[in-house]
Structure 1
Amino acid sequence: MKESEAKRAEDVLKEFDKESDTMEYTGFMAKIVAAIAIAFSVFQLYTATFGVLDAQLQRGIHLGFGLALVYLLYPTCKSWSRHKIHPLDLVLAVLGAAAPAYIIYEFQNLVLRAGTVSDVDLVVGAVGILLVIEATRRVVGLPMVCVVLVFLGYAFAGPYMPGVLAHRGLTLSQLVSHLYFTTEGIFGIPLGVSSTFIFLFILFGAYLESTGLGKFFIDLANAIAGWASGGPAKVAVLSSGLMGTVSGSSVANVVGTGSLTIPMMKKLGYHKNFAGAVEAAASTGGQLMPPVMGAAAFLMAEFVGVPYIDIVKAAVVPALLYFAGVWLGVHFEAKRKNLKGIPRDQLPKILTLLKERGHLALPLILIVYLLVSGYTPMRAALVAIVLSIVCSALRKSTRMKPIEIVRGLEKGARNVLGVLVACAAAGIIIGVVTKTGVGLKLASGLLELSGGMLLPTMFFTMITAIILGMGVPTTANYVITSTIAAPALVQMGVPVLAAHMFVFYFGIIADVTPPVALAAYAGAGISGGNALKTGVNASKLAIAAFIIPYIFVLSPVILMMEGTAVDLLLSTVTALIGMVALSSALIGYLADNCRAPERILLVVGGLLMIKPGLLTDVIGIAIFAIILLFQQRRKHQIQTV
């Protein structure tokens, strides 16, 4: 990659991904930050190996390390120096470590007081809550802060709220006590999952990235699909799907793979608005791809109360359908514009790649095997971290030096900060919801708005999830949508897992849904295209994510929750054919350019096939087959003239 392109990609990442916009220390300060980050990772590895501490102690130390690093790495103002720490940030870093440390120091006394807070407790708790909110502003962004502030305001304004939203209201002491000194608020389930499973998987991802796995995925995708029609676009889809197995950010995925694939797509002939959209849709889909799912899979397992491996199994078929939809979109666009692939002699050889760097993917294969075999996610991640280092040593070209292993500890701690802070802030939201009961009240409001009917309830829940997911990272996105929107579906009798997957999908798809489509805007930043048009194109390519959630609510067979293997196979095959019909309708090409009536019929046929049911499948396939044969005949007649 040219130096100018690399700089542009870095600037785009910092603009659209706040987690990447950090201080750039040198000298003594760089060593201090590195030492704190390494100590953080060592603590997490120690507790994962020898046993997790009591909930509040484990989460308190986790939050203390996280807040200290956030205030050292993310300046108060963008205009401040990026090479020298401001005294205010230094003070806040010390307070960030001290506020959770108070819980650790006073743990026995707090247990004995059993919920009664002293004046000192009140001050420390209030400071801790404010520090979490400010850290959220710096790392996650204002959308998340606004949601948190709205819920805090609601906690105090209960007596003045209209109708079902009214409640008795909370005093400052009650709120601080609940949010900071129990495991129902900041130190609740989200931070608990962050302090155990999520940290280890993010550390695992940091080591995989250090071994060069990302470059291997891109080269492998080139070898597999680079020669096909519209090759670079298919490379983007495949490589982003592979990277999504370990990545936790749509925007970071766009910049990481898009800085290589988007210029290739433009060079081949794809319009810049479409090239940016392909990478945005594919990278967003990476958050839907198991086993990590942007770290939300672990939270979902805790919230739903099912084994983690059940979440992974449920996510497999929907994720494959999503990527099939994006792949078909770029294929039909390539056929419509007659775009060829890259000559095979310019592409890497699959066997050579697997021989030279295939061992880098072994930890990913092993972690899936361990999870299926019954290992806990924490133990599986711990083994995979060790194996990633061992596997890299199998060849001299990929071997990690001792200093790189140490730097991996630092990188893992840095990479977890966004998720950590988002989980702490999400804890504030959950704390207010549990204390006021607003979750059920919002669910009742949605049900009343929809007249108690399932499809309108699903539609309003979809809109709510998309709005709540705008500009919010994956983990916090899921926590917010599952807390506020999912209860409405559960009240309608939808299985809990299906309801949570429904809101998760629509929260994630906000990354490519205008007007706040961060992944699409990042793609446009690299391609030089129009942000809004890139977002519209990305939404078309991601059409599967707007349809599939309705299907697994109406028929959870594709979540592997019910039915036989034959039912699953039939549902998957017909849904894939339906995706072919829908993608061709949106792009305007099947076997030939589609006319308006054909596009309408293809949409109808596609939706009928995606919807489970023998009658709808037969009608949908008939419509699709007739249009396909008609277009093939028309194209043949034109060619013979």
Structure 2
Amino acid sequence: MTDQSQDGKDRGLSDAELQDLVASTDTGGREPSNRSVALLIAGTALVWSLFQLWIAQPMLWFGQYLPVFNASQTRPIHLMFAVFLAFLAYPAFKNSPRDRVPVVDWILAIAAAACAFYVFAFSDHLAVTARSGLPTETQVIIGAAGLVLLLEASRRALGPALTIVGGLFLLYAYFGTGWLIPELIEHEGLSFTSLINAQWLDTAGVFGIPLGVSTAFVFLFVLFGSLLDKAGAGNYFIKLAFAGLGHLRGGPAKAAVVGSAMTGLISGSSIANVVTTGTFTIPLMKRVGFTSEQAGSVEVASSVNGQIMPPVMGAAAFLMVEFIGISYVEVIKHAFIPAVISYIALVYIVHLEALKKDMPALGEAKSFLGMIVKTFIGFVVFGVGFTALIYGVHALEAAVPSLTAPIMMSLLGLAYLWLVAVAARQPDLEADDPNDPEIKIPTVGEVYATGLHYILPIFVLIWFLMVEQQSPAKSAFYATALMLFIIVTQKPLKAIFRGNAGDIGGQISEGFSDLIEGLIAGARNMIGIGVATAAAGIIVATVTKTPIGTELAGLVEQLSGGILILMLIFVGIFSLILGMGLPTTANYIVVSSLMASVVVSLGAQEGLIVPLIAAHLFVFYFGIMADVTPPVGLASFAAAAVSGGDPIKTGFTAFFYSLRTVALPFLFIYNPTLILYGVDLGTTGGILQAVFIFIVATIAMLLFAAATQGYFLAKSRIHETAGLLVVAFTLFVPGFWLNMLQSPFLDIPPAQFEQAVADAPAGSRLRLQIEGPDFNTGETASTTLVMDIEGEGTAQERIDASGLLLFPEGEVVRLDEPMFGTPSAEKLADFDFYADTPVRLASIQAPRERMSKYVFYIPALALLALIVLMQRRRQTKPAF
């Protein structure tokens, strides 16, 4: 056991220094001593939050009195607030004054805000000049100044990474050729005027989709999280995690994992997550036997995983909606299983660490297996209750449609009053001191009732997103509106229920103070994200205007020698490098803009059909690993600052704990059903299939975790570790072994294409191997095109529906340019249909009847049983 004084020595930074670390990263580290300046910064942040709530409210009741802004007008205002606050809140350098704002920063703040405001104020003039290809000299000067100031704001708020990347992309777009630019991605270069027009004056660069998502969706979710945290939900979630898990072996580490998962709901920053939960969990982990590096690594791995956890996913979920063109519910459906099994595996990893080191429990030890059973029962009860509520609301809508909304609002209000009354019977939760020599782990019964009303706005958010299927912006607005009401009323209501009505005036005042502080904190948390999404728009515009987006696949293919697994490894490494030093939102924009299409095209070249959502999740997972991995590893450095451990060792240990997160993207590239791709959750069969996939994937991930930890029932020998990896891989991708025994497709000669289409049953798919000259290089390229067979029409009608134009010439089937607007036209856009060498149909593959791939579960489970028998002889501790 480590005493308090020793923990104080081990801690790398004091609490004040840790808060300064978070502030300097997320909200700005400057605290002006001049009250007027401090009020100006706070007031600007407050006005920004109020502006975002104003433009987000869905009723537009003010439309007849005030102008209603469109997206091209709200984005510049959003950026105007972000850059103005960035220069005032973030010092230029480490040694720059923090107690005052230098004159230079005032000038830069006003100039940057003016450049953004110009785009708003003169949007009509820009539409007929710059956006029509005729920018004026004044517009070019303002745009150039805006880009430079944006990159400087990015450097201050986010560090140098995005500024350097953005600057390099601007130079590449301008010059096009040079000794540092590979021949494969060379181009003629854009003129200075064209460059500024594309990046600042048009609607596809800085003011493009990423900034639009930040304006419409991300701000509201960050504000929602800030208000939740200010109301006390963050402390409630951590206490609840400790109440449920703290009594187990390695309980503080398990609580850190679950607490970070719940905190991920209200934090879009892995660094803030590390410091918020880590200041309490890391010292306690060290007290039960984790080293400084292990304690920090558990916190890092669990906090970074918060970025892949629905419903927010570090705001990347909303960007995926825009980039991929699928609904928000679909994004959540695909992201859910990988995120959940990753967290379950991390809990199991720390459990194995506790077994290996025979760590004691804090307080009276309880059963891990019992906790799992209780959690499962809780989920079942919640699921049944939620389903019953859905059917009840649908019945109400059918009976009295006009009264449904008032009735539901009344019931929600009554539920809130009841839950606050329940909370008032318990004392308010106080933050514990982790260095206190006597740690008392609370029980779930003591904690859960104190904050159940915090679940209501989360419930409202999920209800509107999942059940009503409203837009993320509208759903976030309703949840935030409820949160505004809760933060103002919870303290006065508690005072009334506790019989302290005489103090109600002071409690109302405290409620409004919390509201204003939450609104200000939400805006300050958005400074970096607003600047990041705008700066990332530079990369998006460059990818659009230059060949780099289409030619990166060729570069990766050259480096890998055409071997698919090596290609994916290179893409993962590139994504990790591109994500270094970037917040989650900017990270995803950069890696998805450059690398997601590369995964799809490389897979198609090798005959592997990769769903676009799988490719985006692949690069996203690797991008966020940059927060873990040295040499940057911002979350690892933050955790080391809390634990007093070595940041590099912490980073490598955290990466080792995160191997499951590294493995998952490869698995759902080869087996997309892991992300429920192609699984219809609207049917009973689809739901049962999803449950089966979840159970099997969870078991497989636990076995993978045991293999990487070298411990299952006992310390594993090399052959047992290898066996566990084989079993885990087979459970994840059983089709791999089946493909080795039986080809999944029948090869059909191209000349028989029309007959193959006629014979294919409705709803099936044919795979077409297309070869021809590449439009950019002229060299022969190939890709795999999936043709969906729709309806019961003739072969020609089915071919016409696909958009393909085929011309048989003996044994050769030549392709002409597909019909415009069809899926085939988009997928074959890289072929040159007007070259001397024709684009042709190289081969056809039709699905064949095979035995079930799940047959391979039998030998896998037999191998697992053998490993269990071997380890049971050496087992000295219970497995759970």
Matching residue's letter, 2:518: G
Give 1:187 deviation, angstroms: 0.2
Verify the 8 A CA contact 1:557 1:567 in the aligned structure 2. Answer: no
Give 1:12 deviation, angstroms: 4.3
User: What is the distance in 1 between the residues matched to 2:126 and 2:283?
Assistant: 58
Q: Which residue of 2 aligns with 1:30?
A: 38
Q: Which residue of 2 aligns with 1:423?
A: 533
Q: Which residue of 1 aligns with 2:581?
A: 471
1:48 counterpart = 2:56: yes
1:346 counterpart = 2:440: yes
| TM-superposition CA deviations, 1:462-521 (whole Å, max 9, x none) | 111111112211001101110111111221231111110110011112222233322122
Aligned counterpart in structure 1 of residue 144 of structure 2, from 126, 145, 162: 126
Aligned counterpart in structure 2 of residue 585 of structure 1, from 694, 704, 707: 707
Q: Which residue of 2 aligns with 1:67?
A: 83
Change over 3 Å in CA distance of 1:522–1:625 after alignment to 2? farther
1:396 counterpart = 2:529: no
Give 1:542 deviation, angstroms: 1.2
Q: Which residue of 2 aligns with 1:387?
A: 482
Q: Which residue of 2 aligns with 1:546?
A: 662
1:570 counterpart = 2:680: no
Aligned counterpart in structure 2 of residue 151 of structure 1, from 159, 162, 169: 169
Q: Where in structure 2 are the equivalents of 1:147-186 lying within 5 Å?
A: 147-160=165-178, 161-186=181-206
User: What is the distance in 2 between the residues matched to 1:629 and 1:14?
Assistant: 53
Q: Which residue of 2 aligns with 1:481?
A: 591
Q: Which residue of 2 aligns with 1:517?
A: 633
Q: Which residue of 1 aligns with 2:312?
A: 292
- Identity, % of aligned pairs? 37
Q: Which residue of 1 aligns with 2:612?
A: 496
1:92 counterpart = 2:108: yes
Give 1:21 deviation, angstroms: 4.3
User: What is the distance in 1 between the residues matched to 2:335 and 2:185?
Assistant: 34
| TM-superposition CA deviations, 1:349-380 (whole Å, max 9, x none) | 22332222111122112211110121211111
1:11 counterpart = 2:17: yes
Change over 3 Å in CA distance of 1:13–1:518 after alignment to 2? farther
Q: Which moved more, 1:603-612 or 1:319-328?
A: 603-612
User: What is the distance in 1 between the residues matched to 2:270 and 2:148?
Assistant: 28
Matching residue's letter, 1:380: S
User: What is the distance in 2 between the residues matched to 1:541 and 1:565?
Assistant: 31
Verify the 8 A CA contact 1:288 1:294 in the aligned structure 2. Answer: yes
Matching residue's letter, 2:494: K
Aligned counterpart in structure 2 of residue 116 of structure 1, from 134, 137, 157: 134
Give 1:452 deviation, angstroms: 4.4
User: What is the distance in 1 between the residues matched to 2:645 and 2:859?
Assistant: 40
| TM-superposition CA deviations, 1:167-214 (whole Å, max 9, x none) | 110111110011011111000000001111001111111100101111
Q: Which residue of 2 aligns with 1:620?
A: 860
Change over 3 Å in CA distance of 1:391–1:12 after alignment to 2? closer
1:629 counterpart = 2:833: no
Q: Secondary structure at the match of 1:30?
A: helix
Give 1:119 deviation, angstroms: 1.1
Q: Which residue of 1 aligns with 2:353?
A: 333
Richer in strand (by share): 2
Verify the 8 A CA contact 1:317 1:558 in the aligned structure 2. Answer: yes
User: What is the distance in 1 between the residues matched to 2:71 and 2:461?
Assistant: 26
Q: How many residues align?
A: 638
User: What is the distance in 2 between the residues matched to 1:620 and 1:64?
Assistant: 58
Verify the 8 A CA contact 1:482 1:504 in the aligned structure 2. Answer: yes
How high is the TM-score relative to the length of structure 1? 0.95
Q: Where in structure 2 are the equivalents of 1:120-269 lying within 5 Å?
A: 120-160=138-178, 161-269=181-289
Verify the 8 A CA contact 2:12 2:641 in the aligned structure 1. Answer: no
User: What is the distance in 2 between the residues matched to 1:273 and 1:180?
Assistant: 45
Aligned counterpart in structure 1 of residue 621 of structure 2, from 481, 505, 508: 505
Change over 3 Å in CA distance of 1:284–1:76 after alignment to 2? same
Verify the 8 A CA contact 2:13 2:642 in the aligned structure 1. Answer: no
Matching residue's letter, 1:59: R
User: What is the distance in 2 between the residues matched to 1:609 and 1:540?
Assistant: 22
Larger-gyration structure (1/2) = 2
RMSD of aligned Cα (Å): 2.2
| TM-superposition CA deviations, 1:135-183 (whole Å, max 9, x none) | 1100111111111111111112213344221111011111001101111
Aligned counterpart in structure 1 of residue 74 of structure 2, from 53, 58, 66: 58
| TM-superposition CA deviations, 1:516-541 (whole Å, max 9, x none) | 32212221221111222212221122
Matching residue's letter, 2:25: K
Verify the 8 A CA contact 2:82 2:528 in the aligned structure 1. Answer: no
User: What is the distance in 2 between the residues matched to 1:586 and 1:167?
Assistant: 46
Q: Which residue of 1 aligns with 2:549?
A: 439
Structure 1, unpaired ranges of 5+: none
Give 1:612 deviation, angstroms: 4.1
Give 1:571 deviation, angstroms: 2.8
Give 1:313 deviation, angstroms: 1.6
Verify the 8 A CA contact 1:226 1:341 in the aligned structure 2. Answer: yes
Change over 3 Å in CA distance of 1:282–1:48 after alignment to 2? same
Give 1:7 deviation, angstroms: 5.9
Verify the 8 A CA contact 1:457 1:488 in the aligned structure 2. Answer: no
| TM-superposition CA deviations, 1:100-130 (whole Å, max 9, x none) | 1112222221112123111111110000001
Q: Which has the higher contact order (CA 8 A, sep 6+)?
A: 1
Q: Which residue of 2 aligns with 1:375?
A: 470
Verify the 8 A CA contact 1:321 1:544 in the aligned structure 2. Answer: no
Q: Secondary structure at the match of 1:607?
A: helix
Verify the 8 A CA contact 1:12 1:525 in the aligned structure 2. Answer: yes
Stretches of 4+ aligned residues off by more than 4 angstroms: 1-7, 12-17, 397-400
